[in-house]
Amino acid sequence: MKMQCVERLTPHIQTVNENTNLNMRKNSIEIACNICESIDYELISRRGQFGLPVNVVICKNCGLTYLNPRWSKERYQLFYKQEYDRYYRPNFRKIKPIISNKKNIIYDRLNFYDKLPVAPSNILDIGTGDGINLEYFMDVYSNANFYAIEPSSQGQRLLDKKGIVLLADDVDTDWEQNNNLKFDLIIMRHVLEHFLDPLAVLKKIQNCLSDDGILYLAVPNALTPFKPLQGFWFRVVHTYYFNKYSLRNLMALSRMNSIVMKEGDDYNPTEIFLIAKLAKNELKPEWNNDIYRLQRDFFVEQMKNENYPIIYLKSMINLYLPWLVKLKKQILG
């Protein structure tokens, strides 16, 4: 399938459409591959979690999997501000206590690979949520300053109460240019797959990492087997589906060097995480036809696990239950 008139995505060129319903066609934009800029792709699936519509495609040039067409920037902003927590963070309402006595996966992994920053000044968590990870690091590094980028209004209120400085509510703004901060640790835990332009964000990170700064990044591994009966694997909020090849290319294009990259461990077998630093030399991305075929064939095989009527039923219930509850309340007065 080849698209006509597809623009290279930048954070500011998305189409504006005030329509805020869930109709994909009325809110959608078409984009080129974030890694190789090709517009030659193949449709993988239209089935999304909770019955929300998706168009999952794979780039036939470099093998990156992404949503295309997908919602506009405005539609996603509204979703993260008002709807995301209802679908994905239903218990995201209370201030949790400091959890210094508990374990933290990010801290443990950095410690295991001997990559914990020594006496850091500034730590940034992108997609901070309620600040649960930063709280742990606040306890470890009591002299550091802690910063967040978080779109959820509910999350922002919680972060404010915890003394975490909100740097921006939108990762696509020029937050890295609006201050002179350099960060010794930047955390991106399961957020890169939500972004509209991951490469642009990684380039901003490259710009504001300190010379010895560490980037910790974790995403779901698109080469991890789907869990049968758990629901559709693709989702409207996951605009990208990364594997070790695409992550390596994104790191190269943003001139960062992965000093650790691991496909799962005892903490989480289904994710890839990496620890990266600024690269000293120019790095070149690499791709070939085998990577595209490997990822495509893997999805085709795994999607056979999704052909269960019960998953359809579960998706429909998730999608329409809030509406039915509201209707019932209206009818009963």
Binding residues for Zn ion (CB under 5 A):
33, 35-36, 38, 59, 61-62, 64
Nearer CB in complex with Zn ion: 44/275: 44
| Residues near 331 by beta carbon (within 8 Å), at least 6 away in sequence | none
Rg over alpha carbons for the chain, rounded to the nearest Å, is 20
36 contacts: CB under 8 Å, gap ≥ 6: 59, 61, 62, 64, 285, 287
Task: Decide whether 61 or 128 has the Cβ nearer to Zn ion.
Answer: 61
CB closer to Zn ion out of 104 and 246: 246
Nearer to Zn ion (CB atom), residue 56 or residue 138: 56
Min. distance of Cβ 38 from Zn ion in angstroms?
5
- Looking at the Cβ atoms of 41 and 183, the one nearer to Zn ion is 41
> Roughly how many angstroms between the first and final C-alpha of the chain, as a whole number?
51
Q: Rounded to the nearest whole angstrom, what is the least distance from the CB of residue 195 to Zn ion in the complex?
A: 16
Q: Which CB, 208 or 253, lies closer to Zn ion? A: 253
Which residue, 60 or 73, has its beta carbon nearer to Zn ion?
60
Cα angle vertex 307, ends 273, 268, to 5°? 20
Q: How far is the CB of 223 from Zn ion (least distance, A)?
A: 17
CA separation for the pair 209, 138 (Å, rounded) = 19
Asked if 72 contacts 17 with a C-beta cutoff of 8 angstroms, the reply is yes
β-sheet bridge partners, residue 274 = 217, 261
Nearer to Zn ion, 61 or 104 (CB): 61
Supply the minimum distance, in Å, between the C-beta of residue 171 and Zn ion.
22
AA letter at 289: N
- Shortest Cβ distance from residue 56 to Zn ion (Å)? 14
Rounded to a whole number of angstroms, the minimum distance from the CB of residue 1 to Zn ion is: 14
Q: To the nearest whole angstrom, how small is the minimum distance from the Cβ of residue 141 to Zn ion? A: 39
Locate tokens 């239209």: which residue? 46
Query: Measured from the CB of residue 163, what is the shortest distance to Zn ion in angstroms?
Result: 42
Residue placing its CB nearer to Zn ion in the complex, 134 or 251 = 251
Decide: 38 and 32 in contact? Cβ < 8 Å.
yes
Name the minimum Å distance from CB 246 to Zn ion: 8
